[in-house]
């Protein structure tokens, strides 16, 4: 018995065939959507995956002047931190996992290097200035370290800082239509900048605290 025979003998078989076709079309659309999302994440990971070998060549291009607002509402620039190392992470306080993980990692790494950490300022620059007000940042950064600085600004100020550090970020459309609970897609590197404000090295999100501490010991 062939499938055509079955189609003739079973009532509604043709209708079911139509639905099978629709289901297949829906499956294709879903697969394409998944591929697009995966591609976007891969693109983001490319930025995170730049190896140390390429760091020298990107040295001159990472970092630069910024003007932002700290957690106490004061205007600060990159020059405000001259004479100290900056360990900068771009993220946002509503981030469910990646940002807290990176910030805890950075804090632990600085704890591990002891006295050498005294001249390093851990900094969170938000990519979500819409929700991350100075007051909100102030509540957030103190969970990680007493000396952590939280920086926000106007959307233009934040965009300029992110551009200087080649940081990718974008608001993720909220499918539930709840404007207050959107997520941000963003790259997740931490940047060590020297006392002269120039780029020293970046640390990928995947490194653990001990690995970052090892590198900091050699770099500081």
* Closest residue to Ni ion using C-beta atoms: 95
95 versus 109: smaller Cβ distance to Ni ion? 95
Among 63, 91, 134, 153, binds Ni ion (CB under 5 A): 91
Q: Tell whether residue 99 is a contact of Ni ion (CB under 5 A).
A: yes
- Tell me which stretch binds Ni ion (CB under 5 A): 37-45, 48-56, 61-69, 92-100: 92-100
Nearest distance from C-beta of residue 100 to Ni ion, angstroms: 8
Tokens of 108: 């632990």
| Three-state secondary structure readout of the chain | CCHHHHHHHCCCHHHHHHHHHHHHHHHHHHHHHHHHHHHHHHHHHHHHCCCHHHHHHHHHHCCCCCEEEECCCCEEEHHHHCCCEEEEEEECCCCCCHHHHHHHHHHHHHHHCHHHHHHEEEEEEECCCCCCCHHHHHHHHCCCCCCCEEEECCHHHHHHHHHHCCCCEEEECCCCCCHHHCEEEECCCEEEECCCCCEEEEECCCCCHHHHHHHHHHHC
Q: Tell whether residue 113 is a contact of Ni ion (CB under 5 A).
A: no
91 versus 134: smaller Cβ distance to Ni ion? 91
91 versus 150: smaller Cβ distance to Ni ion? 91
- Tell me which stretch binds Ni ion (CB under 5 A): 27-35, 86-94, 158-166, 189-197: 86-94
87 versus 99: smaller Cβ distance to Ni ion? 99
Among 98, 113, 160, 220, binds Ni ion (CB under 5 A): 98
Q: Tell whether residue 124 is a contact of Ni ion (CB under 5 A).
A: no
- Tell me which stretch binds Ni ion (CB under 5 A): 53-61, 62-70, 98-106, 141-149: 98-106
Q: Tell whether residue 95 is a contact of Ni ion (CB under 5 A).
A: yes
**Nearest-angstrom CA–CA distance, 8 and 161:** 67
Q: Tell whether residue 103 is a contact of Ni ion (CB under 5 A).
A: no
Nearest to 170 by CA among 3, 32, 5, 41: 41
Question: What residues line the site for Ni ion (CB under 5 A)?
Answer: 91, 95, 98-99
């Amino acid at each position: 018995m062939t499938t055509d025979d079955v189609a003739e003998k079973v009532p509604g078989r043709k209708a079911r065939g139509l639905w099978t076709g629709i289901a297949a079309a829906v499956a294709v659309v879903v697969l394409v959507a998944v591929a697009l999302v995966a591609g976007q994440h891969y693109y983001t990971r490319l930025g995170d995956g730049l190896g140390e070998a390429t760091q020298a060549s990107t040295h001159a291009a990472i970092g630069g002047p910024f003007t932002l607002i700290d957690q106490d509402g004061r205007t600060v620039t990159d020059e405000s931190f001259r004479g100290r190392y900056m360990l900068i992470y771009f993220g946002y306080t509503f981030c469910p996992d990646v940002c807290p993980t990176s910030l805890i990692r950075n804090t632990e790494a600085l704890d591990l290097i002891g006295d050498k950490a005294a001249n390093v300022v851990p900094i969170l620059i938000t990519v979500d200035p819409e929700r991350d007000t100075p007051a909100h940042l102030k509540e957030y950064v103190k969970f990680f370290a007493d000396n952590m600085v939280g920086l926000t600004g106007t959307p233009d100020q934040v965009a300029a800082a992110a551009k200087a550090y080649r940081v990718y970020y974008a608001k993720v459309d909220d499918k539930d239509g709840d404007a207050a609970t959107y997520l941000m897609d963003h790259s997740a590197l931490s940047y060590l900048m020297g006392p002269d404000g120039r780029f020293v090295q970046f640390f990928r999100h995947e490194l653990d605290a001990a690995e970052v501490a090892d590198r900091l010991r050699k770099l500081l």
